[in-house]
Amino acid sequence: MNKKLSFDCIVIGGGLSGLTATLALSKIGLSVAIIDKTSLKMVKKNEGDQRTTAVSASGKKIFEALDVWDSLKEDAEPILDIVVSEKGKRGHLNFDHQTVGTEPMGHILDNIQLKNSLISSIRSQKNIQLFPFKSLNNFFPDTGAVTVDLNDGTSYEAALLVAADGRNSAGRRIAKIKDTNINYNQSSIVFTVSHEKPHKGTAYEQFTTGGPIAFLPMRGNQSSVVWSEDTEVVKSLMQLDDKDFAAAASYRLNDCLGEMAIIGQRKIFPLKLNYADTIIADRFAMVGDAAHGLHPIAGQGFNLGLRDIANLTEEISKARRLGLDIGSFETLRSYQATRRLDNFSLVAATDGLNRIFSNSNKIVRSIRSNGLDVINTIDPLKNLFMELAMGEVGSLPVLLKGKLP
């Protein structure tokens, strides 16, 4: 019988989290296999995911440490200010990056460009092997290794299997890990607009009882928009032609960016919460949406996944330095311990924010509006919120500081 091809780590999933995890693990000297049902090749601008991603200040440092930021920075739009408000209310909250330093609070990245930059870097690494057009069928942990069976009948071995395969994770299902699922009965319309007035690096988020709408600054007078509403309202909005839809979006933002025009297509994404009871099993760990899928109300979903990757990479690096098994229960237990509070806190916060701002009760609405004004006048509290958004609170793994562990 032929001996199975063996790796230090096998990563399931070729999305942004899977690609980042693969590159990070390879950069600390591990042999890594990445498996995905797609081609794992670079795609043209108009062929793939038309969305953008908000990457926090600490997230940027991860990409600096992985040597991919130089290929991203020219088109990355810095987030200099964030304005939060509620439609029809005077209360507002304004975050200015200069109150906590000189660096932007984050950057808006084009998903296709980010994915292509990661794939290009991965393909240049000699210790990474790509297995495109394949998917996970099963896996069998044992002493010293996990055997990973793919849908084409091939099998491979590794010390650790990492699932970065999204909300409907096959790895999580096979590991029999339970998760909490909440259907918000909301959907997001994702699209790009050009607008009459410059955004000046400002991200806007406005709340209504139907859901938030966020305008994220892009290069030039353009913004990426995530408009969340009750699913039935979304269906009605999608019936509008581009001109009327753009006018409705501008009205939602009180016309502060002037007249708008739609660029490209509008796409709908249903909004749900999933949160795994545990993010580890025998020789198995999860990162990103496989572990926790958030409501986009705070724009922190991908950043939470980056923190998973940073902590997992650090715990594996520590284990290697000590000559320990990187897939052992002790190593994975340490990883889970570093992530439990951060993951639960952000999941609870985004779920709570959505419920609070979706509540049409007059008393709750008054408290919301006054609360924004109160926070806006308390600088230490406001600065804490800003540091949380930048991902720079607490004891950070070294990847979040721009260094390899």
Instruction: Give pLDDT tens digits for 355-364.
Output: 544 545 454 4
Give residues with Cβ within 8 angstroms of 116, minimum separation 6.
Answer: 42, 43
- Residue 102 is predicted with a pLDDT of 72
- Residue 396 is predicted with a pLDDT of 85
Task: State the DSSP H helix or E strand holding residue 148, giving kind and residue range, or none if neither.
Answer: strand 145-150
Pair type for strands 92-96 and 145-150: unpaired
Torsions phi, psi of 22, nearest 5?
-60, -50
Residue 108: pLDDT band (50, 70, 90) is: very high
- Residue 223 is predicted with a pLDDT of 95
- Count the alpha carbons within 13 Å of 122 in the hemisphere toward its beta carbon: 30
Residue 47: pLDDT band (50, 70, 90) is: low
Task: State the DSSP H helix or E strand holding residue 82, giving kind and residue range, or none if neither.
Answer: strand 81-86
Average the pLDDT over 67-87 and give the result.
90
Per residue in 215-226, pLDDT tens?
999 998 999 999
In this predicted model, which residue has the larger pLDDT, 349 or 183? 183
Domain parsing of the chain, residue ranges: 5-181+273-401
Residue 402: pLDDT band (50, 70, 90) is: very high
Residue 49 predicted with pLDDT over 90: no
Q: Which of 140-154, 196-210, 250-264, 335-349 has the lowest mean pLDDT?
A: 335-349
Write the CA distances from 284 to 132, 134, 221, 287, 355, integer angstroms.
Answer: 21, 19, 45, 10, 33
- Residue 380 is predicted with a pLDDT of 55
Task: Give the three-state DSSP class for 219.
Answer: coil
CA distance 381 to 387: 10
Residue 206 predicted with pLDDT over 50: yes
Task: Give the three-state DSSP class for 231.
Answer: helix
Residue 307 predicted with pLDDT over 60: yes
Per residue in 311-332, pLDDT tens?
999 999 999 999 999 999 999 9
Residue 238: pLDDT band (50, 70, 90) is: very high
| 398, two tokens | 């070294």
Contact 146, 255 (CB under 8 A): no
∠ CA 121-127-129 to the nearest 5 degrees?
Answer: 80
Strands (E), 237-389: 260-276, 280-281, 284-286, 292-293
CA distance 205 to 215: 6
Residue 96 predicted with pLDDT over 70: yes
Residue 95: pLDDT band (50, 70, 90) is: confident
In this predicted model, which residue has the larger pLDDT, 183 or 95? 183
Task: State the DSSP H helix or E strand holding residue 188, giving kind and residue range, or none if neither.
Answer: strand 179-195
- Residue 355 is predicted with a pLDDT of 52
Average the pLDDT over 279-303 and give the result.
87
- Residue 343 is predicted with a pLDDT of 75
- Residue 367 is predicted with a pLDDT of 47
- Residue 372 is predicted with a pLDDT of 55
Give the closest residue to 215 by CA, choosing from 199, 197, 203, 228.
203
Task: Let me know if domain 5-181+273-401 sits in CATH 3.50.50.60.
Answer: yes
Per residue in 373-385, pLDDT tens?
555 555 555 555 5
Residue 370 predicted with pLDDT over 80: no
- Residue 1 is predicted with a pLDDT of 46
Residue 87 predicted with pLDDT over 70: no
Residue 93 predicted with pLDDT over 80: no
Give residues with Cβ within 8 angstroms of 65, minimum separation 6.
Answer: 27, 398, 399, 402, 403, 404
- Residue 268 is predicted with a pLDDT of 94
Q: Which of 34-43, 200-209, 270-279 has the lowest mean pLDDT?
A: 200-209
Residue 89: pLDDT band (50, 70, 90) is: low
Partnered with residue 372 across adjacent β-strands are none
Please give the distance of CA 183 from its chain centroid, rounded to a whole number: 19
Write the CA distances from 189 to 16, 240, 342, integer angstroms.
Answer: 20, 13, 28
Give the closest residue to 76 by CA, choosing from 114, 115, 42.
114
- Residue 347 is predicted with a pLDDT of 64
Q: What is the pTM of this model?
A: 0.91
